[in-house]
Homo-oligomer: A and B are copies of this chain.
Amino acid sequence: MNKFLSAFLLSVSSLYAQAQSTDSVMMKRIYNEVLTRGKCYENLDYLSNKIGGRLSGSLQAQQAVDYTFGVLKSYGFDSVYLQELMVPHWVRGAKEIGMIVKGTQQIPVHICALGNSIATPKDGLRAPVIEVRNFKELEAMGTERVKGKIVFFNRPMEPTHITTGRAYGEAGDQRGSGAIEAAKYGAVGVVVRSLTLANDTNPHTGMMRYVDSIPKIPACAISTKDADELSRLLKIRSAAVVSFFFKQNCEMLPDVKSYNVIAEMRGNEKPEEIVIAGGHLDSWDNGDGAHDDGAGVTQSMEALRLLKHLNYKPKRTLRCVLFMNEENGVKGGIKYADEATGTKHIAAIESDAGGFTPRGFGLDDSITIIMMQKWVPLFQPYSIDWIKQGWGGTDIGPLKKHGTVLIGYTPDSQRYFDYHHAAIDTFDKVNKRELELGAAAISSMLYLLSEYGIGK
């Protein structure tokens, strides 16, 4: 080999090794700090236990804005500010009542209204019930068999998918569009099997939709144990003798003013290139939103705090963005992306899959993956084994129109849907170290993106 070339390659590779070593030293500092003096666990304790469920438009959602704004202010970033927006204001009202009615027998079941649903009539709604697994079965039944009935969507999440999010995605149409599809054939209400792989008595809420051209009918979720029982009874008796009763009192109120909360560390080499990390401040109202998405909120705050605390001077501009209204409208994500028009958001990281042990990062951009995969060895000592094709996140999704690379921080998925959108999504379900390791992973990714950009 040519001596000059050889010397050049040697110097390049030694520069690279040096950079790798600087990076690994920085990451070690980040992880050491979070595991010994981390703040995210106590912040999550506050968000979950002092504030609790914080559905858009609620007092608690505003408290979450105030609290996180105050905490971020105290960390001494270059700036901390609010981004005003309007959000839907759906309220659940009094606790729902659900019953299977079998002849003269009434069997109480665990239900909750789906988010965005209308209420039942004041005295509740009772009708014969028919079970379907999907929209095709519903269509095959047609108006003749569906009219005047409550449609029971009972397709379980597929347990053989290893990534539970995939099973959630595949089962989601029943919850999201079940009421629209059933109403097309004259159904008077829908009951949807809770989207969870657990077999228990917790109903799991979540967003559903209406369209103006089709009558709006009330929709609730039923726990998996109760769904199995309802299905069993329907198999041994005809729909004529098994009916379903539910009463829910939810209501959509006028939109309310709310906020995204943003903190920034300005870049000192390429300040115009922006990298953000975020989660969503709002949560459903039935639990405390500890995993969904108190974890992502407190990890994003911690990710930026760690860099500030370690006196890191970012080359590019770094932001922590706490989005409002992911659960029932994504108004915060849309607002942030609209305001970002004309800026150069090179990458956005979202943490919205629970505070579990880190596994990897999912990217929606195949070119950037190739570049980023050389960072995998930096992450492997910290229980992150891959950077691969994957989903970014709902809140950062709207940034795609600006060409932003979307990065989903991906923790282990096995337990997530046990808690997701249910009353048991509480602080005690979050392990301190698992939460902290996630914060450090996001912080490290922010650091690397600040140092190297996305290589485009």
Contacts and interface: CB of A to CB of B under 8 A. Distances in A.
Contact of A434 (B383, B386, B414, B431): B414
B414 A31 contact: no
A324 to B, nearest CB: 31
A437 B162 contact: yes
A382 interface: yes
A383 B383 CA distance: 12
Contacts of A432: 198
B385 A414 contact: no
B36 A357 contact: no
A36 B199 CA distance: 12
A206 to B, nearest CB: 20
A103 interface: no
A32 interface: yes
A32 B433 CA distance: 31
Contacts of A414: 357, 431, 433-434, 437
B383 A386 contact: no
A145 interface: no
Interface in A162-221: 162, 164, 197-198
Nearest to A33: B160
18 contacts: A31-B162, A32-B160, A35-B160, A36-B159, A162-B381, A162-B437, A164-B433, A357-B412, A359-B383, A383-B412, A385-B385, A412-B412, A414-B431, A414-B434, A414-B437, A415-B431, A415-B433, A418-B431
Given A36-B159, A162-B381, A357-B414, 14 more contacts: A31-B160, A35-B159, A36-B160, A159-B433, A162-B437, A164-B433, A359-B383, A383-B412, A385-B385, A385-B386, A412-B412, A414-B434, A415-B433, A415-B434
